Amino acid sequence: MWQFLVAGGPFMFFLVATSVVAVAFIVERGLALRRNKVVPPGLEDALDKCQTNEDVLQLKLLCQQQSSTLGRLVLTAIERLPGPRTDNANSVQTHARQEVVRLERGLVVLEVVTGIAPLLGLVGTVYGLITTFTGIGETGFTDNAKLARGIGYILNTTLMGLLIAIPSLVAWSYFTKKVETLAVEMEALMDDFLRRQYRRKGKPAKEPALAGGEWD
């Protein structure tokens, strides 16, 4: 393995550094985008069963205790329940965009790695070819086997670049789709929550109003 890396020349070490960065972000995003971390099952169940003002207060407490993407969106909606539904929905939507940006954090690095790794590999190969043929021009062409081995070593950087780019592309595509899926799921949950809460506005309140006054 060490011989493989050394034979690739100086650009191989840039590729190794790039691979370390890619692996680090793949692991970090894999942990951060777990569904039970973004949309905790307990919170989802409480959100679905939330009907009364007391349920809303319990839901708010649960969101404060368990920090999550969905929890932060629910807190935004609860804090604005006394106001009009349109304003609340707009606030939730704005906050949701910010949360999606947080979920996508680091994905741009994988996208860059996907594009730059093959290019670094190609640059390393071209550099190796230039060095090899410059040497041949100075000493003359004497050993076909040695030349073949040299070209084989030179291609190591191209191979390394592809080995880095392919997993990075797969991870980037997977995580991007996962963020999109989670965003759509949270949008549906929040829309259903707001619809149920504001549907009660036309009914006589049998329980104390939430802190902040009566709903408009």
CA distance 132 to 123: 14
HSE value, Cβ hemisphere, 13 Å, CA-based, for 183: 19
Residue 129: what pLDDT? 78
Length of the chain: 216
Residue 200 · residue 54 · CB < 8 Å: no
For 103, other C-beta atoms within 10 Å of its C-beta total 21
Helix (H) or strand (E) holding 30: helix 11-32
Per-residue pLDDT tens digits for 81-136: 888 889 999 999 999 999 999 999 889 999 999 999 999 988 888 877 777 777 66
pLDDT at 210: 42
Question: Among positive and negative, which fits the CA dihedral 64, 65, 71, 72?
Answer: positive
Say how far apart CA 109 and CA 169 lie, in whole Å.
11
- DSSP letter at 210 equals P
Closest CA to 106 of 184, 179, 55: 179
Average the pLDDT over 137-160 and give the result. Answer: 68
Given pLDDT bands bounded at 50, 70 and 90, which one contains residue 204?
A: very low
Q: For the segment 152-182, what is each residue's pLDDT rounded down to a tens digit?
A: 667 888 889 999 999 999 999 999 999 999 9
